[in-house]
Structure 1
Amino acid sequence: MTMKPARLKRGDTVGIIAPASPPNAKQLKKSLDFLKELGLNVKIGTSVYKEYGYLAGTDEERLEDIHCMFKDPEVHAIVCACGGFGTGRIVSKLNYDLIKQHPKIFWGYSDITFLHTAIHQQTGLVTFHGPMLSSDIGLDDVHELTKQSFQQLFNQQPIEYTNHLSPLETVVEGEASGPVIGGNLTLLVNTLGTPFEVDTKGKVFFIEDIDEEPYKVDRMVNQLKMAGKFQDAEGIIIGDFHNCDPVKREQSLTLDEIFTYHIAQANKPTMKGFKIGHCSPTIAIPIGSIGRMNTYDQTFIVESGIEEKDEAE
């Protein structure tokens, strides 16, 4: 059963965590000012500034931050400072009963994809594949549309993605609807064969990635294809593949050739060109909300990921 978290209001407190790698401290500080401009208070997790190799603290410390933020009655939303590496190390140790008992906004992307997939599939909670604090909001040239994505947490309005946001292209014609699932291609492939394997059956499935050469994208998309993930999906959304250019080999297949070969075989409605992922702007998408895609008018409409809650609840 799908659960939507309560919307945010001015004066609410947002918990900041780093469940993967440590953030850039200067950029994080700038992004916290942005949250305060939205009328929000912030509470920093204890492991955010810790360093354990490429991780923001040990697995136990990062896990404890997640659990504490979900338990804390003063915290209304949990926002990830950045991605990086490491969420796959803690996903099997998460207390999903705790999360289900204290549903609240959970926001981030990239390496956070593993947590989105696991949390939504284990609890039914709608989570948000949205721009990071340190690596997106903390930049000097952050796009206004990236900032506007945070309004999804305050206003119960559908997300309407059309050609007005970026030029969209149809790969396979058709219409599709279903709960939205997906995220970073590398992390989605990492879920395969685990208890948290991404379930695309009846879903609108989206993928994105960064810094992966075409031959690596080919390998991962092929693995998802062989695992039946495109065939199971109702429709497919191809997000941004930033800096995914050939380096080792000058002669290469293009990403378009790769997507057409592997994904179009499923013959499911498919569009590409979405500014979802490691890009500017980057548009937030609620995972678990119902999405409706139409290649004929090139639209992707996703229901709001939040709901109104009575003060007494």
Structure 2
Amino acid sequence: MSDRRTFFKALVSTAIATSILPNIANADDTNTQRSHLPIKPKRLKAGDTIGLIAPSSNTWEDEEIHFAIDVLKSFGFKVKKGKYIFQRRGYLAGNDKDRAWDINDMFQDKDVDGIFCLRGGYGSPRILPYLNYDAIAANPKAFIGYSDITALLNAIYARTGLVTFHGPIAKQNFSEYTLQGFKDILFTPKANIDLGTPPLFEAREGQAEKKNRLTLVTGGSAQGRLIGGNLSLMVKLVGTPFEPDYRGKILFLEDVEEAPYRVDGMLTHLKISGRLNQLAGIVFGKCTDCTASGDSLSIEEVIKDRLGDLNIPVLKGVMIGHIKDMSTIPVGAMATLDANNKRLILTETAVS
């Protein structure tokens, strides 16, 4: 029986690699060649044309798409809508190949300067085999989103070397904090700036910061390129040709509406798969609405238990996640994690 299963597994794998997923066979070689040569997209400015796509789920109503277009226009951008931006198929924004087509089209269109994702949701890993990574590498431009978009951000970086951006989606109003961080990274790029530092809290007698506290899990300092995003999506990439190389990287994580035992399970998977012991450091942002009932560990306890024995710096609580005041984090850019001083520092500009 085991020989039969092995035979069919090999047969199916070969068929997929040769017919449906032609780019997968050389994925390891591609990662090795490009992991040390990051490609920086050009900075954004008013007057640029931004491609708007829905690579995961769609909005409930079309008017939310028009709202997103107005948000982008508020920056002085012109907006090119994806050909399939208004499509819906249950929890997906249309079929897989159409959603991938919109990404490929936006990268290959010379008139498009950057690409914004409408929202996250579900479904981006489904389209990874259909992306034209050679065309993406040949036409570098800013690609921005978060949550389910994590799979795209890391796959594109892994397969092309292009720096991508874990940041706001088009379907949201930018808080002052979010706007400033976004522009510091993509409009007026700066090096040696802090990432994810909580907003200034005005201390008064009898009050202290409660909501946005930074927690030192393990002290120390490390340098490395940034990878990461949504924890559940990083776990989904493990073992695929689209996962980033973890060696020497600083991993940033966040999640939403996951019970502590599920966060435990996902971190355990990254740990026993050998990914976490390859890292230089870890930053855990916000786990929004990650509540539990009954007998449960807290998220803080889970993080300390699963990450505290790795002998690398680990910091919890930075402004990364499903939150109003969110940081823009460039996947593939070089950073320093100074856990003792509770700082994550971008040490190079992420755009040209």
Task: Report TM bin, short chain.
Answer: over 0.9
Structure 1 position 148, deviation (Å): 2.5
Distance, in Å, in 1 between the alignment partners of 2:243 and 2:330 is: 19
Q: Paired residue for 2:326?
A: 282
Shift in CA distance, 164/83, structure 1 to aligned 2, threshold 3 Å: closer
1:242 aligns with 2:288: yes
CA RMSD of aligned residues (A): 1.4
User: Equivalences for 1:129-168 in 2 at 5 Å?
Assistant: 129-134=166-171, 136-137=172-173, 142-151=174-183, 152-158=185-191, 159-161=193-195, 162=197, 164=199, 166-168=212-214
Q: Paired residue for 1:41?
A: 78
Distance, in Å, in 2 between the alignment partners of 1:275 and 1:9 is: 25
1:65 aligns with 2:102: yes
Which of 302, 319, 334 lines up with 1:258 in the alignment? 302
Structure 1 position 32, deviation (Å): 2.4
User: Equivalences for 1:194-205 in 2 at 5 Å?
Assistant: 194-205=240-251
Structure 1 position 31, deviation (Å): 3.3
Which amino acid is 1:160 matched to? D
Structure 1 position 215, deviation (Å): 1.0
What per-residue deviation string (whole Å, max 9, x for no partner) do you get for residues 242-280 of structure 1?
Answer: 01111xx42111111111111111111010111101112
Which amino acid is 1:40 matched to? F
Q: Paired residue for 1:183?
A: 229
Structure 1 position 164, deviation (Å): 4.8
Is the 1:59–1:90 contact (alpha carbons within 8 Å) kept by the matching residues of 2? yes
Which amino acid is 2:256 matched to? I
What per-residue deviation string (whole Å, max 9, x for no partner) do you get for residues 67-101 of structure 1?
Answer: 11001111000000000111111101211001011
Structure 1 position 174, deviation (Å): 0.3
Q: Paired residue for 2:277?
A: 231
SS at match of 1:300: strand
- Structure 1 gaps of 5+ residues are 308-313
Q: Paired residue for 1:306?
A: 351
1:86 aligns with 2:120: no
Distance, in Å, in 2 between the alignment partners of 1:225 and 1:16 is: 36
Q: Paired residue for 1:296?
A: 340
SS at match of 2:86: coil
Is the 2:100–2:127 contact (alpha carbons within 8 Å) kept by the matching residues of 1? yes
Which amino acid is 1:196 matched to? F
Is the 1:23–1:48 contact (alpha carbons within 8 Å) kept by the matching residues of 2? no
What per-residue deviation string (whole Å, max 9, x for no partner) do you get for residues 39-61 of structure 1?
Answer: 11111102111101211111111
Is the 1:176–1:293 contact (alpha carbons within 8 Å) kept by the matching residues of 2? yes
Is the 2:177–2:199 contact (alpha carbons within 8 Å) kept by the matching residues of 1? no
Is the 1:163–1:298 contact (alpha carbons within 8 Å) kept by the matching residues of 2? no
Which piece of structure 1 moves more, 69-78 or 223-232? 223-232
Structure 1 position 304, deviation (Å): 2.4
Distance, in Å, in 1 between the alignment partners of 2:131 and 2:314 is: 34
Distance, in Å, in 1 between the alignment partners of 2:153 and 2:71 is: 24
Distance, in Å, in 2 between the alignment partners of 1:63 and 1:31 is: 20
SS at match of 1:133: coil
Which of 129, 136, 139 lines up with 1:99 in the alignment? 136
Distance, in Å, in 2 between the alignment partners of 1:215 and 1:168 is: 22
SS at match of 1:66: helix
Structure 1 position 163, deviation (Å): 5.0
Is the 2:198–2:319 contact (alpha carbons within 8 Å) kept by the matching residues of 1? no
Structure 1 position 64, deviation (Å): 0.7
Shift in CA distance, 108/185, structure 1 to aligned 2, threshold 3 Å: same
Is the 2:286–2:322 contact (alpha carbons within 8 Å) kept by the matching residues of 1? yes
Which amino acid is 2:335 matched to? G
Which amino acid is 1:148 matched to? Q
Q: Paired residue for 1:26?
A: 63
Which piece of structure 1 moves more, 59-68 or 146-155? 146-155
- Structure 2 gaps of 5+ residues are 1-36, 201-211
Distance, in Å, in 2 between the alignment partners of 1:14 and 1:149 is: 19
Which amino acid is 1:144 matched to? E
Distance, in Å, in 1 between the alignment partners of 2:79 and 2:181 is: 18
Which amino acid is 1:28 matched to? I
Distance, in Å, in 1 between the alignment partners of 2:220 and 2:63 is: 46
Q: Work out the percentage of aligned pairs sharing the same amino acid.
A: 42
Q: Paired residue for 1:311?
A: none
- Kindly tell me the number of residue pairs found equivalent between the two proteins: 300
Structure 1 position 132, deviation (Å): 1.1
Distance, in Å, in 1 between the alignment partners of 2:167 and 2:283 is: 16
Structure 1 position 296, deviation (Å): 2.4
Is the 1:188–1:198 contact (alpha carbons within 8 Å) kept by the matching residues of 2? no
Larger of the two Rg values belongs to structure: 2
